[in-house]
Amino acid sequence: MKTIAEIVKLGPVIPVLAFDSVEQGEHVSRALHAGGVKVLEITLRTPAGLDAIQRASQLADDIVVGVGTITKPEHCEQAKRAGAKFGVSPGLTKELHLASLDAGLPLLPGVMTPSDIIQALEFGYEIVKFFPAQQAGGVPMLQAFHGPFPALKFCPTGGITVETAPNFLKLPNVVCVGGSWLTPKAALAAQDWAEVTRLAQAASQLPR
């Protein structure tokens, strides 16, 4: 089982995905993988989430599928049974932390404030998700966090685009970014999987 530290090294961008159907999820997952993306975050924002995780997990040996939008303790065990290799949450509670441990699901917990960060550190986390990144202060906020929390690493997610991603990735406390720009609504509606692959290739080549 890979740790969060190992997973975030697999690519500069983790696509944040929400699928209307399992079939759409399979097409998109294949297209992203073809573009060099090895890590997927499939969220529970739609009913297709868990089944899409199960399907995507079986597509290739080198694909690492995680579950996003974990907001309830039971989500951890459900995602683990579906084949998820890690979890991502928008926030962190003691209950979520313990549930992830019980399920054996490595967790990338969300933080937004110094108090959130201190709680995450108390629970032993060394890498966290900064969410919603752009709306919560973006690059300047992460630069400010580096002073009091020099050892903590971040995966900023929320409002990041292909244009702004490099500004985050060059920060010393950022290990990768999460983004939904790899799956634009127009491409999904047109089933333009080649466009998804093109965007994945560009994202995979971002420097960090």
Q: pLDDT tens, 128-137?
A: 999 999 999 9
What value does the mean pLDDT take over residues 43-50? 98
53 falls in which pLDDT band (50, 70, 90)?
very high
CATH superfamily of the 4-204 domain: Aldolase class I (3.20.20.70)
What is the torsional sign of CA 108, 141, 157, 10?
negative
The whole model's pTM is what?
A: 0.97
| For the chain, percent of residues with pLDDT exceeding 90 | 99
Complete edge-to-edge strand list for the sheet that includes strand 153-156 = 110-111, 127-130, 153-156
What value does the mean pLDDT take over residues 171-180? 99
pLDDT at 92: 99
pLDDT at 83: 98
**In the predicted structure, residue 1 carries a pLDDT above the cut 90:** no
pLDDT at 111: 99
pLDDT at 200: 98
**In the predicted structure, residue 65 carries a pLDDT above the cut 90:** yes
Instruction: Give the residue numbers marked as catalytic.
Output: 41, 129
What is the torsional sign of CA 26, 31, 33, 34?
positive
Residue with token string 């090294």 = 9
| For the chain, percent of residues with pLDDT exceeding 70 | 100
Comparison of pLDDT for 208 and 84, the residue scoring more: 84
Residue with token string 């975050």 = 41
Query: Where are the extended beta strands (E) located within the chain?
Result: 13-17, 39-43, 64-68, 86-88, 107-108, 110-111, 127-130, 153-156, 177-179
**In the predicted structure, residue 193 carries a pLDDT above the cut 90:** yes
169 falls in which pLDDT band (50, 70, 90)?
very high
End-to-end Cα, the chain, rounded Å = 25
**In the predicted structure, residue 38 carries a pLDDT above the cut 90:** yes
